[in-house]
Homo-oligomer: A and B are copies of this chain.
Amino acid sequence: MVARYREIKHSIQEDILSQRYRVGEKIPSERELAVQYGVTRVTLQKAMNLLEQEGFIERIHGKGMFVTKVIEDNVYMLNSGTGDSILGFSREFGQQAKITSQLISHQLILAPQPIAGQLEMQANQQVHFIRRVRLIDDVPVLIEDSWINSEVIAAIPETVLEHGSLYQYIEELTGKKIKFYNSVIEGDLFSKDLADLLSIAAGLPMLKVSGVTKLEDGTAFNYSVSYNRADMFKIKNSWVGK
């Protein structure tokens, strides 16, 4: 069951990305688009709200809707809290570059207290602990540690960890979509052991992103921390007043 407003959102998003609607240009009014897509304004507005939140368009009361000028960049953008693809590193960048993973560690451990809390588990339960180095075009760019509730995901094939998308595997295994990602961004310096994994010098700056991932039924199944080379990543962020 795909919601109509999501289809419309993707359709208009494509029209923007393919330059059918040009940067800075006015796009048709809500009323026109509603007729085009055969829906009511309310439904169309839900689509436009998404496009606005994700920074594709700007809406100005009384004037109309305009395609946002997009700023290109030479570093990788982590789209925080927007888009369809906060759903893991593989799916986010797999289109534009060659993504690989190097599995450093994968073991079942007793959940450490703070992580059990984040995952809303009882104490003394087991979690998968996974440490991976992620590479873009064979350059190691970040380290990702994941703690995954083993009662939700019993087994994780190493082939998924090395070559596939963990989140995609989990969506297929559980039959539920990933719904929620709550993260905190911090700045820090690379310690020696982390720096060694990336073959860089200790003391270089990093962006640390940590957060809980939940399924659509509310189950918290994953807590992860990623240590990103600050010279290779930025995080984009957009706020639209109400």
Contacts and interface: CB of A to CB of B under 8 A. Distances in A.
B180 A240 contact: yes
A55 interface: yes
Given A58-B218, A187-B206, A182 B238 contact: yes
A207 B187 contact: yes
Contacts of A58: 180, 214, 218
Contacts of A86: 239
Contacts of A50: 242
Contact residues on A (Cβ < 8 Å of other chain), bracket: 35 or more
A119 to B, nearest CB: 12
A217 interface: yes
A226 to B, nearest CB: 12
A240 B179 contact: yes
A237 to B, nearest CB: 5
A181 interface: yes
Contacts of A217: 60-61, 63
Given A185-B185, A185-B207, A241 B81 contact: no
Contacts of A183: 236-239
Nearest to A241: B179
Contacts of A102: none
A28 interface: no
A186 interface: yes
Contacts of A60: 216-218
A55 B86 CA distance: 16
A3 to B, nearest CB: 8
A190 to B, nearest CB: 10
5 contacts: A58-B214, A58-B218, A183-B236, A184-B237, A211-B237
Interface of A: 3, 6, 42, 50, 55, 58, 60-61, 63, 66, 80-82, 86, 177-189, 203-207, 211, 214, 216-218, 228, 230, 234-242
Which 10 residue pairs are nearest across A and B when measured between Cβ atoms?
A: A187-B230, A179-B241, A185-B235, A187-B207, A181-B239, A81-B239, A187-B187, A60-B218, A187-B205, A183-B237
